[in-house]
Chain A
Amino acid sequence: MISFRIISTYFIFTLLIASAFGTEPGQEKEIISIVESGRTVFQRMEPDAGLCLSIRNSGEKTLSAVSARINSADNILRDKIAIPDISPQSSISVKIPIDTTLKPGKYDTGLHFTGMLENLQFDKEITLIIIIVPRQNKDEFPVILWSVSSLDKIKGIGFTHAGLPLSRNYENIWKKGKPLGLQSNNLLKKMDDAMSSGIRCMINMLPGECISASENLKMKYQRIDRNGGTYRRCGLCGNFPEIQNYFYNVGASIAMSYGKHPAFQAVNINTEVRDTSEICFHKHDRDAYITYSGEDFPAEVSSKRGLSAALKQKYVPVNGIVPDDNTILKFYKWFWKEGDAWNILNSKVHEGLKTSGRPDFWTFNDPAGRVPPTWGSGGDVDAISHWTYTYPDPLRMALAVDELFAMAKGKPGQKVMKMTQVIWYRKQTAPTLPAKEKYRAEWEKKEPDATFITTAPDHLREAFWLKISRPVQGIMYFGTGVLFGEGKSQRLTNPETLKVLSELLHKTLAPLGPTLLQVPGIRPDVAILESFTSSVFGEEATWGWARGWTGDAHLMLQWARLQPEVIYEETIVRDGLDGVKVLLTPNCSVLPVSVFEKIREFQRKGGIIVADQNLAPALKSDILLRKFTRNGPPDKSKTELQNMASKLRDELKEVYTPSLDSSDSDVIVYRRAYKDTDYIFAINDKRTYGDYVGHHRKVMEKGLPNTAELFLKRKNVCVYDLTENREILTKSTENGIKWNADLAPGGGRLYMVSSRPLEKIIIDVAPRKEDEQKVRISAKVTDKKLQPLDAVVPMEIKIIDPKGKEAEFSGYYGAKDGIQEINLDLAKNDGPGTWIIKAKELATGKTAEAAFKFIKK
């Protein structure tokens, strides 16, 4: 028998053959090393799961008759594995299958290796921990932290996903010109760690950085201006075929290297690239446009932002209406869809990533809003997203997300996510440190040189409600430094914010998120047109910043409690304006004929145009609102815009009243619907200057409690407060119902309005043999006649095993059409006995319980 010395880290097991070969103690020569080169954490029922090992024979003799077998009570490793002979000075990789049908848990596993070196036998057992985690609840609402911190900490706060750092050096992929496997052990290990902590992973991918980092490549591939010079802030020209192939190859390489790890679920593709986009004048760019239009680039174009106001007159007639094939308009349509190439490059990376074939893996692009108002930003990514600061008015969040929905209209099925910056720019919120210490806020005394500070807690809360009021499919936060105090320029200046975030994620989003994911938006009857054509001819666009007159007009509509839809010209041309009653047209001084005709038709059918003084003269508004420019502190601007909101409501009331309303302009209302069930959000925007940054008069950061009467134009309905799990008593009015809403500072409420009252919750366990491992459970929320509601009802389900522990699939759900089905796969090592199912609907808090028996075969 040969003796071994094991040098064992968590990852590496090195077997040393020592004295048998005559070496002195302490001078052992490494003969056989076994390196665990893959994962040790697996998801339950994960197919093709295995422990990857690399075995190296550094000796002079062939290692033969090698095998590995399990030594574990639960047989987590399925079978004894025969390992091929290993020649001298060579390595082999082996994958030892893992049985992921076992119940979730930690498995102390012995891995027993035997083998022969000529006539010498080695025989050793290595212990390691293999973890099987429960499958993810597919209804869980994704909450992503842009970067990563302590996994336990972020799980504790309520995040579901974290952004992992990924090496951005793809030089080899560029050189080889094809997808390559990347050094993956370290990242796979991080993904393992995340998954065992209940966190899934997102990574940010910027393939272009690698090209820009090389001076030679940058010179060759950067965008050039009309004179062949370079731009001041200039990105890659994406119209080089080799660049497009490279972007695909990087995506495919990532998919090849990490794509099978269940924790790896999302990629943010090409963040922050659009700012560096400019019109590029390479021959291939011009040729691409000639192919598209039959013409060369127009002589006047030089900026991605369109023509200057001075050149406008040349192309725009006095009535403000241009042909749809106007030379300049045609060029910029091409540029923002294809010409600047970023949509194409995003699609290429997306396509490469999707070679993993994972249905649960999604791609997104954030910030997707750095473009004029047009469809298609982000390319083919699964979701578009955009980050927003909450100051000066958290309601800005809503415009950015409404714009994303307008953008995504051009790509049916594309989803929308929304990110909040938890960082605040010091310069824009609290710029000047008060000279006298007594006038400084507490944080200013402690962190006088902070560049970025923490978002005020009430702003974060309000921004949260605004985000989730829209049918977004995920939310995201940036700012580990200001949340956890882990940054240099980012400082933790308000610890309350993290507490608020945690509370919102645990108490609101976890229980209601699965429902929110399934409740679609409605088409509001108030729309705000953001005109691409006008932006091409000198009018300001928002570029995702939710500022300027368009941004303020959207704020004004919210304060007027007129739920606005952002609408783009392409949507008007394709879908018309049916269903819209009020159309606000800020900065719409130039329109294409097709859009003009649709709007004129809309007005002739009775639609109301609300416009500023610069509306294209061919159209004449029903209501005029003068373009608003901020001039003064935010409280003044808010008052002025709320006055404008009040004037608008007044002028509209002859012909239009909103079907959902609140009695207070600081209580914003928003409606979504599933079938005939309405989901009503009420969000409190009542704010004042507080003692955090209020003394700078840049932001009203302190929320105030508020109460309002809400009105809904529906009768004979039941209203449930989903945030408090209770039915609301309503009062009937002439044409609807009303009820009171008390709102915390920056807080919100979500009401479900059902045409049938919720009476019961019932659990059914489908008939089965007691030794059957598959168990089908159904929980129903019904009316008096036991008919399920036509609603998505939030529900909490607990599956309790015979030992009293919560089992896989316990959690929150959104019971669509009143029914939630769960299919359990009991494990062979699940305990026999009685299992209990508990369900609670979160509209009124009614509960139900059922049980089934499980006996082992």
Chain B
Amino acid sequence: MRILEDRNKIKFTAMFFLLAGSVFSWHRELLAEDGKNIDEHRLQIMNLYRQGTAGIPELEKALNDKSTLTRRAAVRALADMGEPAIGALIKATDNEDALVRRIALLELTKAGADKSTQYLEKSLADKDVTIREDAVKKLIVIKPRTEEIKKLMQQAQKDECMDVRAPVTAALWPFQKEVVLLKDRPDMADHTARIKLEQSIELPVKGWKFKVDTKLDGHVRQWFKPNLNDSKWKDISIGLWKDAHIGIAWQRLSFTLPSKPDFTAVELRFGAVDESAWVWINGKYAGHHDIGPEGYNKEFSLDVTNELKWGEKNQLTVRVLNTEVGGGIWKPVYIDALKFR
């Protein structure tokens, strides 16, 4: 209509459109190899599930279709068929497309599926993190936890990706506490400016006890108990890397708090622990800080509103994991009484 009506510009315009065609190529409808519109072809593949087992060969062929979305549609249809399509699904576990592999592996590792453990192991070895994560999600709910399953879980604990490691570690860890700091509480959203630090008590640097957990079973032996006889543990001061260790070590401190101030919440704030820390107050698990080696110099807090005893003696235990140089509590520790005003 009014599009560049000037005829003198037509030649230039034609050249421009040729160039522009490549820029706007995403607006063209792409065609499948046989000339069909890809979307139509994909729909045809998806509808093969209606044919039941008769559709399996065609679906299996479609697992290698040029179109990624068509391949995924094919594996979905195969997964919906279940048992009769197992063979094709097994082949799909080696597909180059991660989502095709994932859908196949999810189906093959369904609870009660034959050889599911074998495909969980295969999933854990997959290069795609989501597939490994899927495997961990399944592993941690399997009951009873056989040796084979435990072995796979331990393997997952060594995964390079925290998203895979974290849930399996959490699943194997017997202590749980959901820690929500005052500022992160949903009802405080956007009111954080009204949270005031009422009182901050720095814990002593000296008077700590220290013991390396060579058998990694301190938590089983309940080294966090308030009345544990730790007199034979090594006396240390925090704030230094003098007592560096690699592996798990435990640090304990007894301290007395003044009378109870006015607060909305109380948080135990560590300036930094090198690298990961699991914390108990008066024998009660208070939470952990475990973001891997990069956590060595990060400040963190744990809510201890209900664990502390004001005007009395308290006991703090910290289990520290260190995988590289240094290790331990090396920055001051505070008890912060916070008030919402």
Contact = CB atoms under 8 A, between A and B. Distances in A.
Interface of A: 232-233, 275, 305, 308, 310, 313, 318, 389, 425-427, 451, 543, 545, 603-606, 608, 613, 617, 620-624, 626, 649, 651, 653-657, 661, 663, 709, 711, 713, 716-718, 727, 729-738, 757
A623 B42 CA distance: 14
B81 to A, nearest CB: 13
Contacts of B79: 620
Given A717-B1, A730-B3, A613 B20 contact: no
B39 interface: yes
Nearest to B30: A654
Given A732-B3, A733-B17, A734-B21, A427 B42 contact: no
Interface string B4-39: 100000000100110011011011101000000011
Contact of B4 (A318, A389, A727, A729): A729
B187 interface: yes
Given A623-B69, A718-B1, A733-B24, 19 more contacts: A233-B187, A313-B141, A451-B193, A606-B46, A617-B106, A622-B69, A624-B99, A626-B129, A651-B69, A653-B26, A653-B30, A655-B39, A657-B28, A731-B3, A733-B21, A735-B28, A737-B3, A738-B20, A757-B2
A93 to B, nearest CB: 47
B13 A731 contact: yes
A622 B13 contact: no
B192 interface: yes
Q: Which 3 A-B pairs have the closest CB atoms?
A: A655-B39, A613-B130, A620-B76
Contact of B190 (A425, A451, A735): A425
Contacts of A425: 190, 192-193
A77 B8 CA distance: 71
15 contacts: A232-B187, A308-B178, A606-B43, A608-B69, A617-B106, A620-B106, A624-B102, A626-B130, A654-B38, A709-B23, A711-B27, A727-B2, A731-B20, A735-B28, A757-B2
A453 to B, nearest CB: 12
A543 B67 contact: no
A656 B106 CA distance: 27
B189 interface: yes
B27 A718 contact: no
Contacts of A737: 3
Given A318-B111, A733-B24, A733-B27, A654 B69 contact: yes
Interface string B128-172: 011001100000010000000000000000000000000000000
A613 B102 CA distance: 10
A649 B3 contact: no
Nearest to A544: B189
B192 A275 contact: no
B73 interface: yes
B103 A620 contact: yes
B67 A305 contact: no
A657 B27 CA distance: 6
A427 B130 contact: no
The secondary-structure label for the interface of chain A is loop
A623 B99 contact: yes
B106 to A, nearest CB: 7
Contact of A661 (B27, B98, B111, B141): B27
Contacts of A427: 192-193
A844 to B, nearest CB: 12
B174 interface: no
A305 B38 contact: no
A657 B99 contact: no
A757 B1 contact: yes
Q: Count chain B CB atoms within 10 A of each CB in A426, A451, A718, A731 and give the residue with the most.
A: A731
Contact of A543 (B46, B72, B106, B189): B189
B130 A624 contact: yes
Contacts of B17: 731-733
Q: Count chain A CB atoms within 10 A of each CB in B3, B4, B17 and give the residue with the most.
A: B3
B186 interface: yes
Contacts of B190: 389, 425, 545
Contacts of B43: 605-606
Nearest to A308: B178
Interface size class of B (residues with CB under 8 A): 35 or more
Contacts of A389: 190
Contacts of B67: 654
Given A617-B106, A624-B99, A655-B69, A716 B1 contact: yes
A657 B39 contact: no
A606 B39 contact: yes
A537 to B, nearest CB: 15
A32 to B, nearest CB: 54
A232 B339 CA distance: 12
B256 interface: no
B286 to A, nearest CB: 18
B66 to A, nearest CB: 9
Nearest to B176: A310
B53 interface: no
A606 B21 CA distance: 27
Contacts of A653: 26, 30
A733 B72 CA distance: 32
A635 B180 CA distance: 27
B68 A733 contact: no
Contact of B26 (A623, A649, A718): A649
A620 B92 CA distance: 15
A398 to B, nearest CB: 19
A656 B129 CA distance: 27
A644 to B, nearest CB: 14
A730 B5 CA distance: 10
Nearest to B129: A626
B335 to A, nearest CB: 20
A736 to B, nearest CB: 7
Contacts of A732: 3-4, 17
Nearest to A756: B1
Given A545-B190, A653-B30, A733-B20, A622 B72 contact: yes
Q: Count chain A CB atoms within 10 A of each CB in B21, B72, B102 and give the residue with the most.
A: B72
Q: Count chain B CB atoms within 10 A of each CB in A545, A713, A734 and give the residue with the most.
A: A734
A623 B102 CA distance: 12
A617 B24 CA distance: 36
A621 B27 contact: no
Contacts of A709: 23
Nearest to B134: A613
A488 to B, nearest CB: 13
A389 B106 CA distance: 41
A119 B30 CA distance: 103
Nearest to A606: B43
A772 B141 CA distance: 85
B27 A736 contact: yes
Contacts of A734: 21, 24, 27-28
A620 B76 CA distance: 7
Given A655-B69, A716-B1, A613 B133 contact: yes
B134 to A, nearest CB: 7
A427 B194 CA distance: 11
B109 to A, nearest CB: 11
Q: Count chain B CB atoms within 10 A of each CB in A308, A617, A717 and give the residue with the most.
A: A617
B38 A655 contact: yes
A624 B130 CA distance: 9
A663 B79 CA distance: 38
Contacts of A305: 186
Contact of A731 (B4, B30, B98): B4
A661 B28 CA distance: 13
Q: Count chain A CB atoms within 10 A of each CB in B43, B69, B189 and give the residue with the most.
A: B69
Contacts of A626: 129-130
A386 to B, nearest CB: 13
Nearest to A629: B163
Nearest to A732: B3
A769 B141 CA distance: 88
Nearest to B32: A654
A657 B28 CA distance: 8
Interface string B88-118: 0000000000110011001000010000000
